[in-house]
Amino acid sequence: MDWNITETNQLTPQDIDRQGNKLLIGNGYIGYRGTLEEFNKEQKTATIVSGLYDKVGNQWREPVNLPNGCFVQIIYKGESLHALTSKVISHAQSVDMQSAVHMRETLFETSDGNCITIRSRRFASLARHHLLCMEYSISVDHECEVDIHTGIDGDVWDINGPHFVEMETYERDNVISVSAITHENAVRVVVSEAVLFPVENETRTTSFRDFDKVPIQSTLTFYKFISHVTGIDSTDPVKASRELCKESALLGFDSLLAEHTALWSQRWEACDIQITGDEEAQQALRFSMYHLLSIVPAHTERASIPARGMSGQMYKGAIFWDTEIFMLPFFTHAFPSLARNLLLYRYHTLDGARRKAHEYGFRGAFYAWESQDTGDDACTLFNVTDVFTNRPMRTYFRDKQVHISADVVYAFWQYFSLTGDASIWRDGGTEVVFECARFFLSYIYYNPDKHRYEILDVTGPDEYHERVHNNAYTNRMAANTLEVCRKVVTYLQQNSPEFFEELITTLDFESDLAFINDVVSNLYLPDSNPTDGLIPQFDDYFTLENLPLKSLVERKLHPHEYFGGGSGLATTTQIIKQADVVLMLYLFGEQHSLETKSVNWEYYEPRTEHGSSLSACSYSLIAAQIGKVDWAYKYFMKTATIDLSGKGKQYVGTLYIGGTHPAGNGGAWMSAVFGLCGIRCINDTISINPHLPAHWEQVSIPFMLHGQKLKITLTHEIISVKPLSPLEIPLTISVGESIYPLHATGEIKIQIN
């Protein structure tokens, strides 16, 4: 199976945008868009580093796009060879997912008929996370001379910039550096480069090097080693950045590539799912994992994965619930230590969540809807601009999507119960859970007429219906928060009583605990109606206008018109933006019958616009459970190909939201593993109930549970589970009504058909 994702001759502006996302390379610290070396800000080149944000004036706070060290322009007899303006005979651009290397090969024909081929390879080193390495070669048909203009392009693409002040350039020992400070917090940012060039006729202009009249007989190759260091990472970023360049140039491209590739091989060994019988699905699923691996911050627990990954400044580089609900499962079952990093980011931003709760008059922790480095909310109260009037629209994402705090707690418990890593509770998890539980205690209302607690005035996952009462998802998640809190309390009382006593005193949590016990059993959970089995998404949902999605779309007057907000087209109808009840049915699958799942899937599916990339996987997951394998496959492919096809939404109102969709990528893994392969873990039992598409011959999945590595292989006839190292904790496999103990080293094979 080919590990390359290749695009040939795709050079329209839309292709450039799509490829920039799709062919991104990254190592969790640096994300570099899949653009060409001669491109500049017009083609959205971007080098994003994790955890660095900046705000200019009253504009939105967003990630900082660093100066572009990969810039190279070849000039032949005064003619700049540029993929968009020169005569291109052929062009191929690709990413080798196995080694995370971006490649391009472009054949130009010059106006005097010479054929010049440019080839390049670049990677964001997984071994040295501040480093990008590039190999660039020029091959000619006829011996000639070219001018080569390369360096660090400080004139970058910004949505709400410019973010740099005091930009300066200097050079010593053949290393050029561009150094600047950010606007808001004066963080120093340094990009340096060392170049290994075969001839020495270089002249310099600011941050660029010019190699003039370079003779080329057949091929000329040079290398660039580009480092990116900020004042957050180092006390002397200039020195650190320059030293890294020098050291890398000494090591050379090939040995740096070898260490990088070896680390990527280890990663693939831990997670690569192999599907026999469906090359398209295989590629899409690998592509999804490739993106998640390229952007996960392995180097720190103080950053997480933004909703648009590291593909630019879109969505303010903010972290949403996307990470906890849609990306975490992949990491939990393949790279638990990375899952832990992602969770602890929420501990490090807990103070921001406390500040937000306080700002709105609540107690505890109300996590940011759009979280950045401090945990303060980057989401504005007017987050969408109306396309008709160009006026900002009041949206209730920031103040009413309270489910975010419950999503975080859900994720902590999932991680603990699937990895068994109890250290998470002492390392910050308990505090997060207690503070989120406390937040819901202060948010709920007691309805004396109905003798129950309710959650009023919220926005659920479906953002087209804001400020609703008793959103089924939110209420269930809030109840889960309180239940998890009780389970953590019990666990700590039994296992770490001193730590527990100390924390409960420090947080003054005693009286809250007593209150939780009362609320847990009296919180209203919208349930299925006995007559038709339907669960209302929120109070009175079924009284809204009931029309087909197609009819709603026909009412649109502008292609980018926003469906939600106070007067959006969907708000008075039953058309929803994304999975809401159906997601709840998946997350709390054990508590709902197949009948309930089936009835609600059938009802909500035609009413869902899938206006968010988070939606498709939920519909795939439940479709698989209720035996609708074709639909499960269809929605799996939709989520797995979102960034391959580039079909995600590009605008909401006037806001550009293009970029990668890591939640869609995580959703692809979930749909494949939990949906089509039917794997579900409950304590130490893995239940396997496959719903493989007819054309899938075999699937094999590396899978971790409780720190133990397994290989699960499924065909239409046999399920096999093999421990990859001796089991330290006994596990059982459940298939249908039967339970099979998994032996320490032996593989078990279960005949299913």
**Buried-state track 718-736, b at ≥16 Cβ within 10 A, e below 16:** ebbbbbeeebeeebebebe
CB nearer ligand BGC, residue 28 or residue 611: 611
Tell me phi and psi for residue 354, to 5 degrees. -65, -40
Give the nearer residue to ligand BGC in terms of CB position, either 662 or 690. 662
Q: How far is the CB of 616 from ligand BGC (least distance, A)?
A: 13
CB of 663 to ligand BGC, least distance (A): 6
**What is the residue-wise DSSP string for 137-193?**
EEEESS-EEEEEEEEEE-----SS---EEEEEEEEETTEEEEEEEETTT--EEEEEE
Q: Minimum distance between the CB of residue 405 and ligand BGC, rounded to whole angstroms?
A: 14
Q: Is 463 a binder of ligand BGC (CB under 6 A)? A: yes
Alpha-carbon distances of 591 from 476, 528, 596, rounded to whole Å: 11, 12, 10
Reply yes or no: is the peptide bond before residue 162 cis, omega within 30 of 0. Answer: yes
Segment 689-694 long-range contacts (CB within 8 Å, at least 24 positions apart): 689/735, 689/736, 690/714, 690/716, 690/719, 690/752, 691/624, 691/625, 691/627, 691/629, 691/632, 692/629, 692/716, 693/278, 693/629, 693/630, 693/632, 693/633, 694/629
Interface residue with ligand BGC among 62, 322, 407, 431 (CB under 6 A) is 322
- CB of 404 vs ligand BGC, minimal distance in Å: 9
Alpha helices in 496-580 (DSSP H): 497-506, 510-520, 549-554
Spell out the SS3 assignment of 688-750: ECCCCCCCCCEEEEEEEECCEEEEEEEECCEEEEEECCCCCCCEEEEECCEEEEECCCCCEEE
Contacts of 505 (CB under 8 A, 6+ apart): none
- Sign, CA torsion 460/462/467/469: negative
CA 550 from chain center: how many Å?
30
Considering the complex, what minimum distance in angstroms separates the CB of residue 437 from ligand BGC? 22
Closest CA to 362 of 437, 431, 457, 443: 443
Q: Whose Cβ is closer to ligand BGC: residue 146's or residue 581's?
A: 581
Residue type, 382: F
In the complex with ligand BGC, the residue whose CB is nearer, 314 or 424, is 314
- By the rule CB under 6 A, 617 interacts with ligand BGC: no
At closest approach, how far in Å is the CB of 371 from ligand BGC?
11
Q: Toward ligand BGC, which CB reaches closer, 50 or 612?
A: 612
Tokens of 186: 């004066």
Q: Is 728 a catalytic residue?
A: no
Nearer to ligand BGC by Cβ, of 392 and 420: the residue is 392
- Give the Cα separation of 271 and 447 in Å (integer): 48
Q: How far is the CB of 279 from ligand BGC (least distance, A)?
A: 29
Q: What does the angle CA 552 – CA 556 – CA 558 come to, to the nearest 5 degrees?
A: 155
- In the three-class reduction of DSSP (H, G, I as helix; E, B as strand; rest coil), residue 411 is classed as helix
- Taking the least distance from each CB to ligand BGC, the nearer of 534 and 614 is 614
Please select the residue that binds ligand BGC; options are 292, 575, 614, 629, rule is CB under 6 A. 614
Judged by CB under 6 A, the residue of 161, 461, 678, 702 near ligand BGC is 461
**Contacting range for ligand BGC; rule: CB under 6 A; set: 142-150, 151-159, 320-328, 729-737:** 320-328
Q: Is there a contact between 503 and 427 (Cβ–Cβ < 8 Å)? A: no
Give the H/E segment covering residue 212: strand 208-216
How many residues sit close enough to ligand BGC to count as binding (CB under 6 A)?
11
Contact 245, 171 (CB under 8 A): no
Contact status: 410 vs ligand BGC (CB under 6 A): no
Residue with tokens 């909500």: 604
CA torsion 568-572-573-578 (nearest 10°) is 50
C-beta of 148 vs 307, nearer to ligand BGC: 307
What are the phi and psi torsion angles at 561 (to 5°)?
-55, 135
Radius of gyration of the chain (CA): 27
Output the DSSP codes for 312-346: SSGGGG-B-THIIIIIHHHHHHH-HHHHHHHHHHH
- Per-residue x/- mask for ligand BGC, residues 121 to 160, rule CB under 6 A? ----------------------------------------
Q: At what angle do helices 430-443 and 336-348 cross, to 10 degrees?
A: 50
Sheet strands (E) in 366-503: 384-385, 392-393, 445-447, 452-454
Can you tell me the distance from the alpha carbon of 152 to that of 132, in angstroms, rounded to the nearest whole number? 13
Minimum CB–partner distance for residue 320 and ligand BGC (Å): 4
The least CB distance from residue 587 to ligand BGC, in Å, is: 14
Residue 578 in contact with ligand BGC, rule: CB under 6 A: yes
Nearer to ligand BGC, 151 or 611 (CB): 611
Helix axes 615-625, 662-670, angle to 10 degrees: 10
> What is the C-alpha separation between 41 and 44, in angstroms, rounded?
5
What string of DSSP letters covers 191-208?
Answer: EEEEEE-SS--EEEETTE
Task: Please report how close the Cβ of residue 465 comes to ligand BGC at its closest, in angstroms.
Answer: 12
Looking at 71, 164, 321, 636, which residue binds ligand BGC (CB under 6 A)? Answer: 321
428 interacts with ligand BGC by CB under 6 A: no
Closer to ligand BGC at the Cβ: 329 or 461? 461
Task: Supply the minimum distance, in Å, between the C-beta of residue 426 and ligand BGC.
Answer: 30
Cβ at position 462, least distance to ligand BGC in Å: 8
Of 612, 618, 700, 715, which lies in the binding site for ligand BGC, with binding defined by CB under 6 A? Answer: 612
Binding mask 634-673 for ligand BGC (x = CB under 6 A): -----------------------------x----------
The stretch among 54-62, 242-250, 319-327, 446-454 that binds ligand BGC (CB under 6 A) is: 319-327
Among residues 181, 178, 184, which one has the least CA distance to residue 166?
181
Pick out residues in 299-318 that bind ligand BGC (CB under 6 A): 307
Comparing CB distances to ligand BGC, the nearer of 30 and 579 is 579
Closer residue to ligand BGC (CB): 308 or 706: 308
Nearer to ligand BGC, 103 or 325 (CB): 325
Minimum separation from the CB atom of position 454 to ligand BGC (A): 23
Q: Which of 463, 483, 498, 595 is catalytic?
A: 463
Name the burial class of residue 201, with classes exposed (0-12), middle (13-18) and buried (19+) by CB atoms within 10 angstroms of its CB: exposed
- Tell me the C-alpha to C-alpha distance, in Å, between residue 653 and each of 51, 158, 400, 577: 27, 19, 20, 15
What residues line the site for ligand BGC (CB under 6 A)?
307, 320-322, 461, 463, 577-578, 612, 614, 663
Please give the positions annotated as active site: 463
